[in-house]
Amino acid sequence: MASISNEPEREHRDEEESGANEDEDTGAQVAPIVRLEEVAVTTGEEDEDTLLDLKSKLYRFDKDGSQWKERGAGTVKFLKHRDSGKIRLVMRQSKTLKICANHLVRSGMSVQEHAGNDKSCVWHARDFSDGELKDELFCIRFASVENCKAFMQKFKEVAESEEEKEESKDASDTAGLLEKLTVEEKETEEKAVEKTEGKEENKKSEAVEDKKTEESVPST
């Protein structure tokens, strides 16, 4: 009975294989109805190097509703621009690539572990993801404690490096100002010396003229 019940299946398989072989033997080629051209997609990240790249879920605090609202799940990155050296935080949703967060990491910024959850952390930023600068309070959650720590560590490193850059720039500006003042003082001193020397030369010239005048007066 088993062999009888299986027979139609075998015949059906033989027909499919035969049909498949016939299709292969035709050698027919079907041209596509619509020819699609490759389009280069730019993300604005072409001139930046990725310092960190982690999967996560992002939230923003809604002040009006006094609650956290999800911004999206995707990849958060720290990107460093090759020319300016500036570093920004960017997060995009996984499927749509819509930007959830986009802001520079500046000196003075800080990140803290979210109370009661060692896989999450929070920070304030001037965000530009909606096309205008907004003060936002973000919370980001990772799949592991290790990823959360790695994110916080990189965030702190970038903020500290920006602070060092500002201090170095301030020191350089101060040095430049002092150098300028020193040059100006030196020029002032040189002008004062030249003026004094000029007066002395004038006095000598006047003395010589007076002597010549006295000598030219006839004696009586």
Residue 115, pLDDT above cutoff 50: yes
pLDDT, greater one: 114 or 188: 114
Structure-model confidence comparison of residues 128 and 211, the more confident one = 128
33/25 Cα distance (integer angstroms): 23
The pLDDT tens digits for 73-107 are 999 999 999 999 999 999 999 999 999 999 999 99
The pTM score is: 0.61
* Two structure tokens written together for 112: 């803290």
Round the average pLDDT of the chain to a whole number and report it: 81
The predicted structure's pLDDT at residue 3: 43
Spacing of C-alpha 101 from chain mean position = 12
pLDDT at 169 over 50: yes
Quick one: pLDDT at residue 44? Answer: 82
For residues 26 and 182, which has the higher predicted lDDT (pLDDT)?
A: 182
Measured in residues, the chain has a length of 220
> What letters, b where the CB count within 10 A reaches 16 and e where it falls short, cover 153-190?
ebbeebbeebeeeeeeeeeeeeeeeeeeeeeeeeeeee
The predicted pLDDT at position 11 comes to 46
Strand residues in the chain grouped as ranges (E)? 48-62, 67-81, 87-93, 99-104, 111-113, 120-127, 134-141
Output the pLDDT for position 14. 52
Residue 56 pLDDT more than 90?
A: yes
CB distance 47 to 82 below 8 Å: yes
| The pLDDT of residue 194 | 72
- What is the SS3 string spanning 28-77? CCCCCCCCCCCCCCCCCCCCEEEEEEEEEEEEEEECCCCEEEEEEEEEEE
Instruction: Give residue 31's pLDDT.
Output: 63
- pLDDT value at residue 121: 98
Please work out, in degrees rounded to the nearest 5, the angle formed at the alpha carbon of residue 156 by the alpha carbons of 150 and 157.
Answer: 90
3 state SS of 158: helix
